[in-house]
Chain A
Amino acid sequence: MISEALIVSAILFVIGVVGVLTRRNAIILFMCAELMLNAVNLSFVALAKLHGVTGHVFVVMVMTIAAAEAAVGLAIVISVFRHFGTVEMSMLRRLRG
């Protein structure tokens, strides 16, 4: 069962990577990052069945950091939207030569 859970975790992580690589909307990019964090959490929980309860503690930590990251990231998105009027990453080209 553990290797199946790890395979599911790998598939979810890769789906998140594909989302980050193919989308332009900043909010959807953040959601893909959350999906990747969830995939890693799944592998933590699966391996906690082998190596004891430490994995669960790590999952709690990761969730806290994910909440903080979502708050700050969405604040940045709101700030960017006020400044540029869009959240499409390809429109933010002020630093492009």
Chain B
Amino acid sequence: MNGFYEFQFYLFSLIAIASALLFVTRKSPVPAALWLVNVMFALSGLYVMLDAPFVGVIQVLVYAGAIMVVFVFVVMLLNLGRSEIADFRSLGARLGAGLVALALLANLLVVLRDKTPRIALAPAQDNVVTPVATSLFTDYLVAFELTSLVLLVAIVGAVLLARKRVTV
């Protein structure tokens, strides 16, 4: 049974990384957005494997279902389906980006090498929402309420920024 979970874990990891690579190499925005949706689905599978099915569901609903739809909607609204000039930066910039990426990746991998104990993957417990909800509505209640304020400010700001200028 454990091997089954490990296999699925590696499968979803592979799908996530391959989709992310495809996402970052697509020229036009719409295929890039769809590959990013694929990354998010694979990540939600990883969350389920990591004993967090509630977060996985939220990931599908919020990220793949809402945020990416907003992105695709803006691409459609601005009619950016075909990019007229080359989207990628020059070769020097790309080489520099590769060097930065290698340095950052080496840094991260060195930091987390041999620091975490191995815990076998297990199927999720029955009750997964209650612990999250208890923590969210007791220990982090103030942060939760402040998040609603952030959302309100974001709504007002988005409407204010994106509306057409009207002569008052």
Binding site for B on A (CB under 8 A): 1-8, 10-19, 21-25, 27-28, 30-32, 34-35, 38, 41-42, 45-46, 48-50, 53-54, 56-57, 59-61, 63-72, 74-79, 81-82, 87-88, 90
A5 to B: closest C-beta gap in Å: 6
A71 touches B155 (CB 8 A): yes
Residues 98-120 of chain B, each 1 if its beta carbon lies under 8 Å from chain A, else 0:
10110011001100101111111
B7 to A: closest C-beta gap in Å: 12
Interface size on B, residues (CB 8 A): 84
A49 CB contacts on chain B under 8 angstroms:
50-51, 119
A15 to B: closest C-beta gap in Å: 4
B39 touches A1 (CB 8 A): no
Binding site for A on B (CB under 8 A): 6, 9-10, 13, 16-17, 20-21, 23-24, 29, 32-33, 36, 39-40, 43, 46-47, 49-52, 54-55, 58-59, 62-63, 66-67, 70-71, 74-75, 77-78, 80, 83, 85, 87-89, 93-94, 96-98, 100-101, 104-105, 108-109, 112, 114-121, 131-132, 135-136, 139-140, 143-144, 147, 150-151, 153-155, 157-162, 164
A21: nearest residue on chain B (CB-CB)? B97
In the assembly, what is the distance between CA of A34 and CA of B74, in Å? 15
In the assembly, what is the distance between CA of A63 and CA of B52, in Å? 15
A30 touches B112 (CB 8 A): no
Top 8 closest pairs, chain A to chain B, by CB: A68-B154, A21-B97, A75-B161, A10-B108, A75-B162, A75-B158, A19-B24, A53-B131
Most buried by A among B33, B67, B136: B67
